[in-house]
Chains A and B, each alone.
Chain A
Amino acid sequence: MARKLLRVDVGTGSATFEELPEELVMLGGRALSSAIVAREVDPACDPLGRENKIVFSTGLLAGTTAPNSSRLSVGCKSPLTGGIKESNSGGQAANRLGRLEIAAVVVEGDPTGKKWILNVNKDGAFLLDGGRYWGLANYACAEALHKDFGERAACILCGPAGESGYRNSSVAMTDPEGRPSRHAGRGGSGAVMGARGLKAMVIDDAGVERPALLDADRFKQARARLVDGLARHPVTGDGLPHYGTAILVNIINEAGALPTRNFHFGTFNEAEAISGETLAQNCDERGGKHEHSCMTGCVVHCSNVYVDKEGKYVTSGLEYETIWALGANCENSDLDAIAEMDFECDDIGLDTIEMGDTLAVAMEGGLLPFADTQGMLRLLREEVRHGTELGHKLGNGCERAAREFGVTHVPTVKHQGMPAYDPRAIKGIGVTYATSPMGADHTAGYAVATNILDVGGHVDPLSREGQCPLSQGLQEATAGFFDSTGLCVFLAFACLDQPESLAAIAEMVSARYGREMSVNDLVAYGARVLDMERDFNRRAGFGKEDDRLPAFFLTEPLPPHKVVWDVADLDLDKVCGWTPVMEV
C-alpha cells in the first residue's frame, strides 16, 4: 500500500483520500508540508483568513521501527511571521498516522462557524461535530477525547490560544501517557487550525499493521547500526538521557551566551537554580521522572515528568528553551514556578519561547517588574488564558507586544521571537536565526553543537569566521535527514560525529521505499526544501533586509565577552541565495 494524502474540507464536511502525485511520493515531514503549502496556499493571503490551509505531515520513516521517527510536521502560512511555517513535534500522532500510511492531512475550506473534530482510523477518516470540545483547554480536551475514543488514540489539539486566534498559538500532541505536553509551538499554527474550526484530530491505529518495507533485511540492519551509534555516542547515550536538554543552562551561561533580562546580558547569576542539574535532583528527590520518552520508539529519552514538593504532577517535557524563556530571560530563578508556567502554556496552547520573549519585553516596557514570578503566573492564568484585552496583547507574540508597550529592544527575526542563545556570543546560531526561512529558529541549523558543545568539530563561537558555511550545511542536513524523515533532530548529535549513522538513515529510507537515497541525495533534498520555502517567502514579500538580526545586536556589546554581531550582510545573502547586484 502506498502512502496517501487525506484532504479535509471543513466547509463541506468531507474527508477524502487521494493518491500522492509522483513528484510528492518521496517527500515527507517538512519537505511535504512545505511543498503542499507552496503549491496550494497563496503567499499573499491573510494567514488567519479562509484561504490558508494547515498541513500535518509524517516523515518518510513514520510508523516504522526506525528509532525516534515520530515527529509530526505542521505547515501553513504563519500568522506570526507572515512567511511559510513548518514546526514539528514529538508525541504519538505521527506514529499512528504513519501506521495508517497517511503521508499528509491537508485541512482547508471555510467552516462558516462550524466546529469539527477529525477522527481517523482503519475504516477511514470522518469529520464529526466538535462543538462540545470547543472551549476546553488542552488537558481537559485530551481527557475527554480519550474517554470518547479510547486510551490508545493519539490526539492533535488546538488549545484556547488557537481558538482565540492568538498569533502565538501551538498545536498540541499527546505523549505516550496521553498528556498534551508536546507542541508544534513556533509560528502560530494553532490559530490556523482554530480558523479552520478544527478543534482536534483523534487517530487510532487499532487493527493496522506496520507499513510494508521494500527490503526488510536491509532496513533492519541499518536500524541496528543507527541504534548502536546512538547508544555509543556520549551525548545521545548518556548526556541527554541523564539531564535532558536543561543541562544546557549551565553550559550556555558559563559560555556567556544565556540571554538574560530581554537579551541585555549573557549570564544569569542565578542560573544554577534553574539548571538541568537542579531539575534532575528535584526529580530524584520528589519522585518525578527523567529519561522519559515523548514518543513510542524513542531510544534517547531526553524528556522528563516534573512534580511538585508533594510529588504531584506539574508538567512534562520541561525543556531548556522553556526554562530559559520564562526563567533567565525574565530574571526568574524559581524552577517550580517555571514548571507551573510550562503547564499553563501547554494547557492554553502557547509556544513557551515566544511567551517568554513576550513577557520579557512587557517587563522592559513596565507592565510588571523583571523577576516578578507571581506576576507572570497571574498574567498567564487570568489574562492570556481567558482572552482578555491584555491577554490578546500578550498572546500575539513578542514583536506585537513590544509595540503595545513601547519597547524598541526586540529580539526577533521575521517577526518571530529568538530562542535561548544570544547570537552575539554564538555567532553560528545567529546565522541560522537570520537566514532560516522560519524566522529566529534554533533547531533549523543547530550551530550551538559545533560552536559550544564540540560536536561535529569546533568553530569559535565569538568569531564570525566559518559560521555561514557551518549554518548552511546544518540547515540543509536538518531539513533533509531529520525534519523530512520524521527523525528527532537530537539524533544529529551522534550523526555529526558518526558518518556511519548518517549513512544508516539514508539506507533506511532506501530500504523502506525501494528507491536509492544516498547521504548526498538527502543533503541535496534538504537544500531543495529550503529553496522552496525561500521562494514562498519571496512571493509573500520578504526581501534580503528580512534576513538580518535586529540593529541592537550590532551596536550593544554583550557582557561578559563584550561582543557584537559582526557577520557580513553579503555572507548572509549568500546563505539565502540572493544574487549579488553588480556595482556599475
Chain B
Amino acid sequence: MIAVRLFGGLQVLAGSGRRSYDMPYRPGLTVSAVLAEEGLPFEGIGVILVNGRHASLATPLQDGDRLSVFTPAGGG
C-alpha cells in the first residue's frame, strides 16, 4: 500500500476530491503515476515528500511508503 496525503488546495484539484487515501502498491510506481491517477495537474504542485524526505515526480515508490504532496507554500 502507498499512503497518499494531499495538502493545501490539492484535494480541490484532485478528480475524486479525496485528501487522504491508501493506494495499492505495484512495482514501478512513481510519484507522477500516483498523481496522474488522481487527475492532478503537475503545475500546481509544490513540495513532494516520501516518508518525510524530499522527492520529485520521478521518484519511484516502495510498498509501505507515505507520499505527501503540497501546493506551493510559505510562512514563518
- Any A CB within 8 A of the CB of B39: no
A238 and B10 CA atoms in complex are apart in Å by 13
Question: How near does chain B come to A256, taking the closest CB pair, in angstroms?
Answer: 4
A47 and B52 CA atoms in complex are apart in Å by 43
Chain B, Cβ-Cβ closest to A243 = B8
- Any A CB within 8 A of the CB of B9: yes
Q: 12 A-B pairs, CB-CB below 8 angstroms?
A: A234-B46, A234-B72, A236-B74, A239-B8, A239-B71, A239-B73, A242-B8, A302-B75, A442-B76, A448-B76, A453-B72, A462-B53
Question: How near does chain A come to B22, taking the closest CB pair, in angstroms?
Answer: 16
Residues of A within 8 A of B8 (CB): 239, 242-243, 247, 276-277
- Any B CB within 8 A of the CB of A377: no
Knowing A251-B70, A453-B46, A454-B47 touch, does A320 contact B7 (C-beta < 8 A)? no
Question: How near does chain A come to B12, taking the closest CB pair, in angstroms?
Answer: 10
Please determine whether A320 and B9 come into contact, CB atoms closer than 8 angstroms: no
Knowing A239-B46, A277-B7 touch, does A458 contact B54 (C-beta < 8 A)? yes
> Contacting B74 at CB < 8 Å: which of A256, A321, A453, A458?
A453
Residues of B within 8 A of A248 (CB): 73, 75-76
Majority SS at the chain A contact face: helix
- Any A CB within 8 A of the CB of B49: yes
Residues of B within 8 A of A448 (CB): 76
Question: How near does chain A come to B54, taking the closest CB pair, in angstroms?
Answer: 7
Knowing A234-B46, A453-B46 touch, does A247 contact B75 (C-beta < 8 A)? yes
- Any B CB within 8 A of the CB of A25: no
Residue positions of A touching B, CB distance < 8 A: 234-236, 238-240, 242-248, 250-251, 254-256, 275-277, 302, 319-321, 442-443, 446, 448-449, 452-455, 458, 460, 462, 489-490, 493, 560-561
Residues of A within 8 A of B46 (CB): 234, 239, 453-454
Please determine whether B74 and A443 come into contact, CB atoms closer than 8 angstroms: no
> Contacting A235 at CB < 8 Å: which of B9, B52, B53, B72?
B72
Among A234, A302, A449, find the residue whose CB has the most chain B CB atoms closer than 10 A: A234
Residues of B within 8 A of A254 (CB): 5, 7, 49, 52, 68
A251 and B9 CA atoms in complex are apart in Å by 13
Please determine whether A238 and B75 come into contact, CB atoms closer than 8 angstroms: no
Residues of B within 8 A of A235 (CB): 72-74
Residues of A within 8 A of B74 (CB): 235-236, 239-240, 245, 247, 449, 453, 455, 490, 493
Please determine whether B47 and A443 come into contact, CB atoms closer than 8 angstroms: no
A462 and B53 CA atoms in complex are apart in Å by 9
Residues of A within 8 A of B53 (CB): 462
Question: How near does chain A come to B13, taking the closest CB pair, in angstroms?
Answer: 12
Question: How near does chain B come to A185, taking the closest CB pair, in angstroms?
Answer: 13
A321 and B76 CA atoms in complex are apart in Å by 7
Total interface residues on B, using CB and 8 Å? Answer: 18
Chain B, Cβ-Cβ closest to A245 = B75
Please determine whether B76 and A443 come into contact, CB atoms closer than 8 angstroms: yes
A321 and B53 CA atoms in complex are apart in Å by 23
A443 and B76 CA atoms in complex are apart in Å by 7
Chain A, Cβ-Cβ closest to B20 = A272
A244 and B54 CA atoms in complex are apart in Å by 22
A504 and B75 CA atoms in complex are apart in Å by 22
Knowing A251-B7, A251-B70, A277-B8 touch, does A246 contact B52 (C-beta < 8 A)? no
A455 and B75 CA atoms in complex are apart in Å by 11
Question: How near does chain B come to A488, taking the closest CB pair, in angstroms?
Answer: 10
Residues of B within 8 A of A251 (CB): 7, 47, 70, 73
Please determine whether B72 and A250 come into contact, CB atoms closer than 8 angstroms: no
Question: How near does chain A come to B6, taking the closest CB pair, in angstroms?
Answer: 10
A462 and B54 CA atoms in complex are apart in Å by 11
> Contacting B47 at CB < 8 Å: which of A319, A442, A453?
A453
Please determine whether B49 and A255 come into contact, CB atoms closer than 8 angstroms: yes
Question: How near does chain A come to B66, taking the closest CB pair, in angstroms?
Answer: 8
9 nearest CB pairs, A to B:
A245-B75, A234-B72, A235-B74, A254-B68, A493-B74, A239-B73, A248-B75, A256-B52, A247-B73
Question: How near does chain A come to B3, taking the closest CB pair, in angstroms?
Answer: 11
Residues of A within 8 A of B9 (CB): 242
Please determine whether A239 and B54 come into contact, CB atoms closer than 8 angstroms: no
A251 and B69 CA atoms in complex are apart in Å by 9
Chain B, Cβ-Cβ closest to A442 = B76
A20 and B50 CA atoms in complex are apart in Å by 55
Question: How near does chain B come to A351, taking the closest CB pair, in angstroms?
Answer: 15
A235 and B46 CA atoms in complex are apart in Å by 9
Please determine whether A246 and B75 come into contact, CB atoms closer than 8 angstroms: yes
Chain B, Cβ-Cβ closest to A254 = B68
Knowing A251-B47, A255-B49, A452-B47 touch, does A320 contact B68 (C-beta < 8 A)? no
Chain A, Cβ-Cβ closest to B47 = A454
Knowing A239-B74, A240-B75, A454-B46 touch, does A460 contact B54 (C-beta < 8 A)? yes
A321 and B5 CA atoms in complex are apart in Å by 23
A455 and B8 CA atoms in complex are apart in Å by 17
Please determine whether A320 and B52 come into contact, CB atoms closer than 8 angstroms: no
A245 and B8 CA atoms in complex are apart in Å by 12
Chain A, Cβ-Cβ closest to B5 = A254
Chain B, Cβ-Cβ closest to A462 = B53
Chain A, Cβ-Cβ closest to B43 = A234
Given contacts A245-B75, A251-B70, A443-B76, 20 further A-B contacts (CB under 8 A): A234-B46, A235-B74, A236-B74, A239-B72, A239-B73, A240-B75, A242-B9, A246-B75, A248-B75, A251-B73, A254-B5, A255-B49, A275-B7, A276-B75, A277-B8, A320-B75, A453-B46, A453-B74, A454-B54, A490-B74
Residues of A within 8 A of B75 (CB): 240, 244-248, 276, 302, 319-320, 490
